[in-house]
Structures are given as C-alpha cells and as structure tokens.
Amino acid sequence: MQTLIEFAPLVAFLIAYRVADIYAATATLMVAMLALLAFDFARTRRIPPMHGISAALVLIFGGATLLLHDERFIIWKPTVFFWSVGVAFLVSQFVGQRTFAERLMLAASAEVFAGVPARVWSQVNLAWVAFYAVMGAANLWVAFNLSQADWVKFKVFGITAITLVFVVAQSVYLGRSLPPTPETPP
C-alpha cells in the first residue's frame, strides 16, 4: 500500500499531462507531493528524507516552471535530485560508520542483509553513486533529444522501471554476499 501511495504523485502528473499540458501537470505534481508529505506525517509523525528532498525540489523547480512559464525547470528536477542524492551517497562513503546504501537496505530488510560484509556495502554504495550519475545524465539526454511527451513517459515509466531493476539487482548481489547459514538438522 505504501509503495502505491508513493507513486500517486507520478500518476497524478501523468494524468494531468495527458488531460492538459506540462504546466497543469507541474501544478498537479506540486499539490500531490504536498499531499504525500501530509500523508507521511499523519501516518508516522515524520517525513522520510527522500520524500522531503523530492518535494522541496518539486516545489522549487515546479514553482519556477509555473512562475516563469518555462518547462525546463521541471525537466531539470529529476537530474538535480539524482545528482544530489548521488553526492550524498558518495559523501557517506567517507563520513559516518555506515554508507547510505547500508542504512537504506538495512532499514528495509535488516534481518535479510544483516551479515553483509562492510566491503560489499562499500561496493553497493558506489554502484548507487554511479547509478544516480547515469540516471541524471539520462534524464537530460531524453529531455533535450526527444519530445516532451517522450520525456514524460521516461520520467513516469522509464525511471521507475530502471530503478526497480537496479534495486532488484542490488538485492540479489547483496544476497549472494551473505555468509552461508548453517544448516539445521532435520
């Protein structure tokens, strides 16, 4: 259920784009992100950092898009988000006791990934840095080489699908890095 709610702003963006235009879609996305933050806070009394960062960027870049009537601002938002998060992952490689990749994956499934060695977490974290760098560049390439409609499809479907595949690949890699569990006798 939570995952479906996280996709609601993207779905709202897509519907508004298909019904109207990029400006209506941007305004709809801004409202939907605020609604997501309100839902997060009502449910858990806190706002997840990724939602907060994404919402702040949507409000800033969406506001600039609407105020200046220039779609380039909302198009840049995913790239700024990806590159900002990528830098945060990179910094976590050198600061703190755990990388961001380790924190996020353990928060999602601590019992599954608890035995992963530190060197593997470091590799996974650097893979996320590379992933975010490539995704930011891919967003710009699609935005400035294909049509606006293609960029919207890439934003809603492409980024989501690519991220899902990457997360699954990371999970499989982490699973293979776990120490073998002792077999229990029958």
User: What pLDDT, in 10s, does the model give residues 143-156?
Assistant: 999 999 999 999 99
Amino acid at 90: L
What is the model's pLDDT at position 34? 97
Angle of the 100-113 helix axis to the 72-92 helix axis, nearest 10:
70
Cα separation, 170 vs 157, in Å, equals 20
Is the pLDDT reported for residue 107 higher than 60? yes
Q: In this structure, are residues 81 and 57 in contact, taking their beta carbons and an 8 Å threshold?
A: yes
Is the pLDDT reported for residue 4 higher than 90? no
Q: Which of 101, 116, 122 is nearest to 179 (CA)?
A: 116
- Mean pLDDT estimate for the chain: 92
Q: Report the percentage of the chain scoring pLDDT > 70.
A: 95
What is the model's pLDDT at position 184? 47
Q: In this structure, are residues 35 and 161 in contact, taking their beta carbons and an 8 Å threshold?
A: no
Burial environment of residue 6 by CB neighbours within 10 A (0 to 12, 13 to 18, 19 or more): middle
What is the model's pLDDT at position 185? 53
Cα separation, 100 vs 156, in Å, equals 25
What is the model's pLDDT at position 106? 82
> Do you know the residue count of the chain?
186
* Token code pair at residue 94: 């050198």
For 6-65, what is the HEC assignment?
HHHHHHHHHHHHHHCCHHHHHHHHHHHHHHHHHHHHHHHCCCCHHHHHHHHHHHHHHHHH
What is the model's pLDDT at position 166? 96
Cα separation, 168 vs 174, in Å, equals 10
12-21, 53-62, 167-176: lowest mean pLDDT where? 167-176
What is the Cα 120 distance to its own chain's centre?
22
Q: How confident is the model over 78-97, as a mean pLDDT?
A: 95
Cα separation, 146 vs 52, in Å, equals 29
Q: In this structure, are residues 95 and 83 in contact, taking their beta carbons and an 8 Å threshold?
A: no
What is the model's pLDDT at position 31? 98
Cα separation, 134 vs 131, in Å, equals 5
Q: Read off the pLDDT band of 84 (50, 70, 90).
A: very high
Cβ–Cβ contacts within 10 Å for residue 54, how many?
21
Q: Read off the pLDDT band of 181 (50, 70, 90).
A: low
Is the pLDDT reported for residue 140 higher than 90? yes
Q: Read off the pLDDT band of 136 (50, 70, 90).
A: very high
Q: How confident is the model over 17-33, as a mean pLDDT?
A: 98
Where do the structural domains in the chain lie, given as residue ranges?
Answer: 1-70, 71-180
